[in-house]
Structure 1
Amino acid sequence: MGIKIRKTFLLTSICVFFCFKLNAQDQQSLKTVLVQIEEQFAINFNYAEDAVKDIVITTPKQSQSLDTILQYLQNETGLVFIKMSENVVLIQVKNDLSLCGYLRDKDTNTPIPFATIKSLNISTITDDNGFFNITVANENNIIEIRHIGYKTMEQSLKDFKQTKCSDVFLQPDIEVLSEIVLSNYIVNGITKINDGSFKIDFKNFDILPGLIDTDVLQAVQAFPGIISSNETVSNINIRGGTNDQNLILWDGIKMYQSGHFFGLISMYNPQITERVYLKKNGTGSDYTDGVSGSILMETAEKVNTEFKGNIGVNLIDVNGFVDVALSSKSSIQVAARKSISDIVQTPLYKAYFDRISQDTELVSTTSIVNSDQEFNFYDTSLRWIYNISDKDELRVNFINVANQLKFNESALIDVQSTSKESSLSQNSIAAAIHYKRQWNTNFSSDIHVYETDYKLKSINVNILDSQRFLQENKISETSIKLNTNYAISEHLNLLNGYQFVETQITNLDDVDLPVFRILISEVVRTHGLYSEVNYKSPNKNTSLNGGLRYNYIGKLKKSILEPRLSFNQRLSDHFSLEVLAEFKHQNTSQIINFQNDFLGVEKRRWQLSNDIDIPILRSKQISTGLSFSKKGWLLSLDGYYKFIDGITSQSQGFQNQYQFIRANGSYDVKGLDMLLRKQFKTFNTWLSYAYMSNNYTFNSLESNPFPSNLDITHAIAFGAAYSKNQLKISSGLNWHSGNPTTRPVPNNDIINNAVNFGPTNTSSVRDYLRLDVSATYDFYLGQTTKANIGLSIWNLLDRENQINNFYRINNDVVNETIQRSLGITPNLSFRVYF
């Protein structure tokens, strides 16, 4: 009996085991089943991984036809199986919108593999055949298609062809020679290009200490070797040069004004400015001016196909931006910004106003009371693009900027209270037309025409002397530029071009009592011919740009030849060597006649070179750099030498014994720029150091060279940034040697009723130290509206930094006046995107 029971149990167990085994073999993951069907019928399934994940089904019978099996799979899984061709089957989630297609090169019709296709939080890449399939929640959602070497495509789902999986074409990017040498140079969005320039892409930009808006001219100061000696964006010093020696272009238009609030914030609206290129040296031969450096700003270069916009407010202004699709071939961008000081005067406004009013006509004295100060600014920017055809593109730009300051001066005259208004205005207005033609895959041409006008005007009322002093500084410049690009081969490109520039500068000084009026208006016309060869080796390890520019200045009958060079050699996977060199000239410069010109707020006025008392600025630069990059580490070293000839003592801002002396001279700079950066997954930290020896040579002033007014020998910046999901936090410490100064001789500080100064610029004010922090957070208002809030604190430690000093005699005593930097300065912003 026992034996019989054991046999029965054994047979039952074996039967159950085999039944379970057979049933287990019958149940498989959908992905495994799909692989088996692909092998059986020699077909390919295209699907998103998330669509088939975690689905288990019973294996269909192999004896069935393909159509029967597909119908069975559709019934069992709830997915949709679509036969795109004899050997391709598309799998989609039911009721979801999707886009599939084959991505191809527009010129060669070849497939483009490994391209990124993205919509909201969903992305995929194309396979070896260029095929892709992506699920989209809404037909209005934007789909972005991106690949290196091609222009990025952005279209809504409804703008794509919906017939099966059609071909989608990407336009090759003509600027294929511009390649990244170092990515995330300081933070995400900053890269170094093989021509020696640095690119700041604000679309992918992280955050910098003390900044919550992407202030263009504040951002460039993050690079070693670039500093503002007085904390203003209107006085950016690139490797020891003065601000007027910088070439500033906005979409190819030369700008003669750079800041709002007379230099404390950039006048270029960050919502419309998408990219910035910084060139310290090695500028291409198609650029002129900017003997010290170049800052080139660009707006978006492609047509937008849907409405985009945002509106924001901070403690200094309210601003808005819209990007409107006029058609599938045309879109227009408009950005505007307006100060809010006429509505509310925030602590930030008051801090800025106190900063610019130091030692100016805005400060009340014992006999004059200034009141009712009003300051306003605004800017408006426009960019329109029209793709006339696949080969023709038209772009129009417009910018209008204004700063306006008013205040009342009051005094008691003959026991009567008298009050009159003084004012200061600063305006820039410019427009440009750019037309580009791609004749074939090897040859393209473009023509760029711009007109830029700048005006600085002040009315200074002297109540005590019943005098009105009117000053004006005006610039009107027109430029026509023609470029041709010819791709001799895949690795060799030839650029040729011509540029004509006409610059007119007018200066007016008008006094009503006693009557005095002087009006000087001058015009200079310059012709430039240039040619440049760009070479890139087949293995992409060598990049060489060599060019020559010929300039003819008609009024002065002077010819100037300017060679340009940029060379980059990748020595290994981690090391690269760079050599940059250039000769440049410049016909315009800023001078200071008197420190109280234009109310003492904006003292500098533009003047044209006449090759006599205001020479043509001429520069020679060379630099050599070595970079190492591996596993998130980056080390960059650049040594350089710069020589600038043709400067005037009036352009350097002397406030010592040379303040009223006119002299011509030069300066030379020897320096080293260093950057060390370590990047982690969500954390980034960097340390930069800049060494500089900057010396003047004014033979009519001193027999030997002496330190420049911008000889800031050492500068160190340490920063850290954290970014995860919607939160970004950054902090940074800035330190540099004190600005040079000339002190009176101790115990013998007055001779012949004048300050007896000691050796020029051998002393310095106290070292500069500033700690900044900033944070931004992105979130959604509802399901589709994105918002952003930001907080920044400039000079968190509230350190009283000295940025300038000078000495004057008062009652037979030498008094020192110290100009101080901003104290602790918080800012708060809120922005909504729609």
Structure 2
Amino acid sequence: MAIKIRKLFHFLIALMSFFCSCGIYAQNRAHIPLTTYLQKLEHEFDIKFSYADDDIRDVLVEAPDATELNTILQLIESQTQVLIEKLNDRYYTLTRSPTIDICGTVYDNFKMNTLYGATVTVLGTAFSSIIDENGNFSFKGVPRDAKLQIKYLGYKTLFVNADELVTKEPCKTLLLAQYYQQLEEVVVYEFLTKGLIKQLDGSVQMNSKEFGILPGLIEPDVLQTVQALPGIKSIDETVSNINIRGGSNDQNLILWDGIKMYQSGHFFGLISAFNPYLTDKVTLIKNGSSSQYGDGVSGIIDMRTRDSIADTYFAGAGLNLIGGDVYAHLPLNEKLAVQFSARRSLTDFLDTPTYDKFFTRVFEDSQVSRDGNFYFYDFTGKLLYNIDNKHKLSLSFININNLLDYSERDMDTNDEIQSALSQTNLSLGASVKSEWNKRFSTSLNAYQTRYKLEAQNISGNAEQVLFQNNEVQETALKLNTNYSLFENLDWLNGYQFIETSISNKTAVTQPPYTSNQRDIVKSHVLFSELTYTSTDNRLYGRAGMRLNYLENPKSFTKYLLEPRLSINYAFTNRWKLQLLGEFKSQAINQVIDLEQNFLGIEKRRWIVSDDDRLPITQSKQGSIGINYDHKTLYLGLEAFYKEVNGISTLTQGFQNQDQFNGETGKYNVKGLEFLINRKTDDYSIWASYTYNLNNYHFSEVLPPDFPNNLDIRHTATFAGTYNIKNFKLGIGLNYRTGKPYTQPSIEEPLNTSFFPNRINYQEPNSSRLPEYLRADASAIYDFGIGKKLKASAGISVLNFTGRNNILNTYYRLNETNEIEKVDNVSLGLTPNASFRLRF
């Protein structure tokens, strides 16, 4: 107890705060010899058991949590697979079955990564299998005295007795130790909180099932979680505008089950649109991506839902102060399963403190009043079918919706305007994965996605109708082949085809005006890469190339060659050096139209590059990093340089003299990211710091070089979490310097020589907002309601100091031709609470 208190004391000092909590530690029921437990039952129920001593001499059992004899005996049978037969009311016989059903779950030796593709063989029999993506395997009717062999490239072969794996819930966990020579086992470090893992290729993987807690979060929101990592922030506090190493959100590639997503947020960006409870794994890549990934010159967020059939069903439901959700995974048989999730907001019929804060944040600079009707929902579905032991089929579906309608009345004319806004995404995908033999596998993916943003204003007498529409339709096909050339060398090859059609429509009845533009871009891609892992795990290397053929029927055809590189070298047991690099491109961007502004709420429209007015965006990035990881301490330092060419002032969100000119140019970012994390079983404390020098270059703008709209020079985070039995506590502090903005000229702020008048501005982005500082906290308590029903309750407070952070400042002319300053303010003190059930 003294040790626990001392650890807690250090944690409190580090965070400059305190927690007062207590927990009672329950002792687990121990496993006891079956013979001993049978003697206890004979005495308690006045019965007799008959058995051969050799059959059950070494069998252990966990005393069942039951009081009825029949139930107790059934639980013993399920635990031990010893057959119990009732002869009469007093006498029972026990016999040991010659065969048993077994199962297991295989991880690497730090229980962090599943080893998909590892082989399991029951020696001396015909039983063999490949471990699925969740690390699971199972057999029925295995000889009780058999021995299993588990093998995986780069790991020591493990032998285990079959009778140690008798099927029960959960299946026994087996750990494979990595193979090494004169090195300690390689540690894959768990970042910040449980479920965040640093990979050898420089990516970070999030395992939703294992996820712990982060400050301000009571649910594992994918797009909020990635912002806890250095180099990733949202400058306007939304998940629909995530900035990775100084890039804009449209420069990120966001995938859900291999489908490119054009909508990522609910509540106009404040909440992730992806249900986290069936999202099995999320991979974040900032640099050095595999050649199989295209688009996304800034970063990649790859979300994958569960892709294997569970042994039994699982489900859950939850409610918070914004909405409610349900999810389930339902195995129909050994080869077929369905899973689904659904979520809906409560915002159209229930006001909560959280909704009040969100509404103020989203609609503060718009025409929308609290009389409006707003709600959102999403739904996902997936069908899993194991065709046979070597081929698996999956079908995925996702539907995302945001809807708003409201009316307002002009106080001068008494005219009423009816307005509506809808934002929807509907996607279908299919995947076939095949393991042809131990060395060759393939994956075929296809999808169809449709994103639509629609807005309209109708005056009360219908004299004027304004209609705006942005629609994206995309069809894609992708084939991956993976061949193991040698024991330590894998060869990936593939082909990808994508056709994207984007339309933008605007129609006004008074004065009459119509615009309807539709563009298509097609891409054919070949990619190839080699991945090498040394036998001693000292060296990991991946080098690839991606050849893109892009075609816009109206304007261009173009070939682009993109090399990729990822090297990780352990020069000591604890110190590693990492070198990453990549060239990337994208032909689809978002323009930010502040004149036709979708009611002032959603101003971004997807558009196809024409390689002239809006060029194909291309990037090149290189980074070098060093990290130290050993047991409870991680240190990481990474320097990078990124240059992005082919950007336009239309895509960057200018709110000054360059707002509508459409000049093209580039930006470059020089940065440094640092992270230190001290972690034990009880607590995790971390501090991170990011330095970015992010500048534009537009040759047609004066001056041509000036700070990027996303130039946040200094960002720092200090946070920690603490686990006390079933309690999870988190608190954190986020700091960053202010973003650039442009003020009107001091000498002559208004230019009256134009009609309508214009604002004369100073040099672009020559001023900066005040610093940003926000403190968040959260707490979750897990508890059981019944044998199979688990529950959790959580509370969180965003910005618990109530600080008014200014996210953006711009200027506009009001109705009297006077310059008006507009400040977009961050979320205020925002509470939230949740209650969840799992079964």
TM-score for both structures, normalised by structure 2:
0.81
Give the number of the structure whose alpha-carbon radius of gyration is greater: 1
Change (3 A) 1:484 1:84: farther
Change (3 A) 1:659 1:306: same
What is the CA deviation profile of residues 209-246 of structure 1, one whole-angstrom value per residue up to 9, with x for unaligned ones?
A: 00001111000000110010000000000000000000
Specify the alignment match of 1:477 in structure 2: 474
- Does residue 541 in structure 1 map to residue 522 in structure 2? no
Aligned partners of 1:731 and 1:772 also within 8 Å? yes
Matched letter for residue 97 of structure 1: E
Once the two structures are TM-superposed, the CA of residue 675 in structure 1 deviates from its matched residue by 0.4
Matched letter for residue 650 of structure 1: L
Which secondary structure state, in structure 2, belongs to the residue aligned with residue 540 of structure 1? coil
What is the CA deviation profile of residues 702-752 of structure 1, one whole-angstrom value per residue up to 9, with x for unaligned ones?
A: 353110000000000111100132110000000000111112233443344
What is the CA deviation profile of residues 156-193 of structure 1, one whole-angstrom value per residue up to 9, with x for unaligned ones?
A: xxx84487456778796999999986421121111111
Q: Whose relative contact order is higher, 1 or 2, with alpha carbons under 8 Å and at least 6 apart? A: 2
Change (3 A) 1:637 1:447: same
Specify the alignment match of 1:784 in structure 2: 788
What is the CA deviation profile of residues 139-172 of structure 1, one whole-angstrom value per residue up to 9, with x for unaligned ones?
A: xxxxxxx9999852277xxx84487456778796
Which secondary structure state, in structure 1, belongs to the residue aligned with residue 675 of structure 2? strand
Aligned partners of 1:218 and 1:233 also within 8 Å? yes
What is the aligned-residue identity percentage?
39
Aligned partners of 2:547 and 2:559 also within 8 Å? yes
Aligned partners of 2:407 and 2:417 also within 8 Å? yes
The CA distance in 2 between the partners of 1:405 and 1:114, in whole Å, is 47
Q: 1:201 aligns with which of 198, 207, 212?
A: 207
Specify the alignment match of 1:797 in structure 2: 801
What is the CA deviation profile of residues 444-465 of structure 1, one whole-angstrom value per residue up to 9, with x for unaligned ones?
A: 1111000111000000235699
Specify the alignment match of 2:709 in structure 1: 709
Change (3 A) 1:588 1:82: farther
What is the CA deviation profile of residues 749-791 of structure 1, one whole-angstrom value per residue up to 9, with x for unaligned ones?
A: 3344432322221221111000000010111113331111010
Change (3 A) 1:52 1:736: same
Aligned partners of 1:771 and 1:796 also within 8 Å? yes
Specify the alignment match of 1:297 in structure 2: 303
The CA distance in 2 between the partners of 1:621 and 1:181, in whole Å, is 27
Q: 2:31 aligns with which of 50, 57, 61?
A: 50
The CA distance in 1 between the partners of 2:186 and 2:249, in whole Å, is 28
Aligned partners of 1:115 and 1:147 also within 8 Å? no
Specify the alignment match of 2:779 in structure 1: 775
Matched letter for residue 819 of structure 1: N
The CA distance in 1 between the partners of 2:784 and 2:55, in whole Å, is 38
Once the two structures are TM-superposed, the CA of residue 615 in structure 1 deviates from its matched residue by 0.5
The CA distance in 2 between the partners of 1:265 and 1:53, in whole Å, is 52
The CA distance in 2 between the partners of 1:180 and 1:248, in whole Å, is 30
The CA distance in 2 between the partners of 1:704 and 1:181, in whole Å, is 47
The CA distance in 2 between the partners of 1:166 and 1:100, in whole Å, is 16
Change (3 A) 1:668 1:169: same
Specify the alignment match of 2:636 in structure 1: 636
The CA distance in 2 between the partners of 1:403 and 1:687, in whole Å, is 36
Which secondary structure state, in structure 1, belongs to the residue aligned with residue 358 of structure 2? helix
- Does residue 820 in structure 1 map to residue 825 in structure 2? yes
The CA distance in 2 between the partners of 1:82 and 1:163, in whole Å, is 19
What is the CA deviation profile of residues 342-387 of structure 1, one whole-angstrom value per residue up to 9, with x for unaligned ones?
A: 331211112111111121122xxxxxxx563010100001122111
Specify the alignment match of 1:618 in structure 2: 618
Specify the alignment match of 2:835 in structure 1: 830
Gaps of 5+ in 2: 1-28, 38-47, 64-72, 82-101, 109-119, 123-128, 156-175, 180-184
- Does residue 429 in structure 1 map to residue 426 in structure 2? yes
Aligned partners of 2:678 and 2:684 also within 8 Å? yes
Specify the alignment match of 1:670 in structure 2: 670
Query: How many residue pairs end up in the alignment?
Result: 721
What is the CA deviation profile of residues 628-662 of structure 1, one whole-angstrom value per residue up to 9, with x for unaligned ones?
A: 12341111011000000010101000001111211
Matched letter for residue 136 of structure 2: M
The CA distance in 1 between the partners of 2:248 and 2:62, in whole Å, is 62
Specify the alignment match of 1:598 in structure 2: 598
Q: 1:758 aligns with which of 755, 759, 762?
A: 762
Map 1:415-494; keep pairs closer than 5 Å: 417-461=414-458, 466-494=463-491
What is the CA deviation profile of residues 584-639 of structure 1, one whole-angstrom value per residue up to 9, with x for unaligned ones?
A: 11010000222551111000000001111011010100011100123411110110
The CA distance in 2 between the partners of 1:628 and 1:149, in whole Å, is 31
Which secondary structure state, in structure 2, belongs to the residue aligned with residue 262 of structure 1? helix
- Does residue 245 in structure 1 map to residue 251 in structure 2? yes
- Does residue 215 in structure 1 map to residue 221 in structure 2? yes
Specify the alignment match of 1:380 in structure 2: 379
Specify the alignment match of 2:84 in structure 1: none
The CA distance in 2 between the partners of 1:508 and 1:812, in whole Å, is 30
Aligned partners of 1:81 and 1:89 also within 8 Å? no
Specify the alignment match of 1:97 in structure 2: 77
The CA distance in 1 between the partners of 2:381 and 2:257, in whole Å, is 11
Which secondary structure state, in structure 2, belongs to the residue aligned with residue 353 of structure 1? helix
The CA distance in 1 between the partners of 2:590 and 2:394, in whole Å, is 31
Specify the alignment match of 1:276 in structure 2: 282
Q: 1:308 aligns with which of 314, 334, 359?
A: 314
The CA distance in 2 between the partners of 1:334 and 1:151, in whole Å, is 18
The CA distance in 1 between the partners of 2:412 and 2:745, in whole Å, is 41
Moved more, 589-598 or 222-231: 589-598
Map 1:74-223; keep pairs closer than 5 Å: 83=54, 90=59, 95=73, 96-97=76-77, 151-153=134-136, 160-161=140-141, 164=144, 182-223=188-229
The CA distance in 2 between the partners of 1:484 and 1:490, in whole Å, is 17
- Does residue 509 in structure 1 map to residue 506 in structure 2? yes
Change (3 A) 1:413 1:612: same
Gaps of 5+ in 1: 1-47, 57-76, 102-110, 118-128, 132-145, 363-369
The CA distance in 1 between the partners of 2:700 and 2:639, in whole Å, is 31
Aligned partners of 1:150 and 1:171 also within 8 Å? no
TM-score for both structures, normalised by structure 1:
0.81
Change (3 A) 1:434 1:112: closer
What is the CA deviation profile of residues 249-305 of structure 1, one whole-angstrom value per residue up to 9, with x for unaligned ones?
A: 001000000100010000001111121100001111011000000000011121112
- Does residue 265 in structure 1 map to residue 271 in structure 2? yes
Aligned partners of 1:84 and 1:165 also within 8 Å? no
Once the two structures are TM-superposed, the CA of residue 418 in structure 1 deviates from its matched residue by 3.9
Specify the alignment match of 2:163 in structure 1: none
Specify the alignment match of 2:570 in structure 1: 570
Specify the alignment match of 2:233 in structure 1: 227
Matched letter for residue 633 of structure 1: L
Once the two structures are TM-superposed, the CA of residue 550 in structure 1 deviates from its matched residue by 0.5
Aligned partners of 1:361 and 1:600 also within 8 Å? yes
Specify the alignment match of 2:404 in structure 1: 405
Aligned partners of 1:151 and 1:173 also within 8 Å? no
Moved more, 824-833 or 701-710: 701-710
Specify the alignment match of 1:500 in structure 2: 497
Once the two structures are TM-superposed, the CA of residue 567 in structure 1 deviates from its matched residue by 0.6
The CA distance in 2 between the partners of 1:535 and 1:602, in whole Å, is 45
Once the two structures are TM-superposed, the CA of residue 55 in structure 1 deviates from its matched residue by 7.9
The CA distance in 1 between the partners of 2:246 and 2:195, in whole Å, is 26
Once the two structures are TM-superposed, the CA of residue 100 in structure 1 deviates from its matched residue by 6.6
Which secondary structure state, in structure 1, belongs to the residue aligned with residue 237 of structure 2? coil
Change (3 A) 1:796 1:180: farther
- Does residue 350 in structure 1 map to residue 356 in structure 2? yes
Change (3 A) 1:112 1:234: closer
Specify the alignment match of 1:700 in structure 2: 700
